[in-house]
């Protein structure tokens, strides 16, 4: 099953709602790839022993992992953190998340700065490239459990927009213009 994604409306309504356009304007996995966003579907029921997950971690050097349950009773400073997650930001490293339970939305900017909403459900693993502007929210179910993966010692620092002066931002923007470069810099397979 492919992950579902769509262009967002611009209403200021509750961030946890789907915010689809009418009619819906879907976004394909191939479109996401052109932004450097990659997706895998895995069997989250066996994440502790999953050879497919092991393979991905080996291939990409995702040596670090932890698990975060995002729910008001389990996450310290829940409200504050959710507010931070929904601020448009970037990181200096890739953001890799694997949904083990529940569901949530990752929003990413396309090349024209339009918001794309990616509906992540159990079994979806996604990689957002370093330098892409994005944000995260729970949906109306108000719960998800996610594995966070990282190459080496994790750095969770987020830089809220505007963060255009970072080299990694400029590199990311360049990668959008030059398909050859992008393939080298962003494809997890190379």
Binding site for ligand KMT (CB under 6 A): 68, 85, 95, 97, 136, 146, 158
Residues 178 and 3: their CA atoms lie apart, in Å, by 26
How large is the greatest C-alpha to C-alpha distance in the chain, in angstroms? 46
Residue 97 touches which of Ni ion, ligand KMT, none (CB < 5 to 8 A by kind)?
A: ligand KMT
Q: Which residue is nearest to Ni ion (CB)?
A: 95
Residues 120 and 97: their CA atoms lie apart, in Å, by 10
Residues 167 and 83: their CA atoms lie apart, in Å, by 26
Taking the complex as a whole, how short is the minimal distance between the CB of residue 89 and Ni ion, in angstroms? 6
Residues 100-139 that bind Ni ion (CB under 5 A): none
Residues 40-99 that bind Ni ion (CB under 5 A): 95
Closest to ligand KMT by CB, 8 vs 158, is 158
Residues 32 and 107: their CA atoms lie apart, in Å, by 11
Closest to Ni ion by CB, 19 vs 135, is 135
| Residue 173 DSSP class | H
Q: Write out the residues near Ni ion by the rule CB under 5 A.
A: 95
């Amino acid at each position: 099953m492919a992950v579902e994604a769509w262009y967002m409306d611009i209403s200021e309504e509750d961030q946890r709602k789907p915010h689809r356009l009418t009619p819906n304007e879907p976004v394909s996995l191939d479109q996401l790839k052109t932004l450097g966003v990659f997706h895998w579907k895995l069997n989250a029921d066996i994440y502790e022993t999953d050879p497919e997950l092991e393979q991905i971690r080996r291939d990409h050097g995702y040596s670090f992992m932890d698990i975060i349950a995002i729910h008001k009773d389990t996450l310290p400073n829940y409200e504050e953190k959710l507010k931070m997650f929904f601020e448009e930001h970037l990181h200096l490293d890739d953001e890799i998340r694997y949904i083990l339970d529940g569901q949530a939305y990752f929003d990413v900017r396309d090349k024209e700065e339009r918001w794309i909403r990616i509906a992540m459900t159990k079994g979806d693993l996604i990689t957002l490239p370093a330098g892409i502007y994005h944000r995260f929210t729970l949906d109306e179910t108000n719960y998800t459990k996610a594995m966070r993966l990282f190459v080496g010692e994790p750095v969770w620092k987020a830089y809220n927009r505007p963060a255009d002066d970072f080299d990694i931002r400029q590199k990311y923007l360049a990668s959008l213009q030059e398909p050859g470069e992008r393939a080298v810099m962003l494809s997890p397979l190379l």
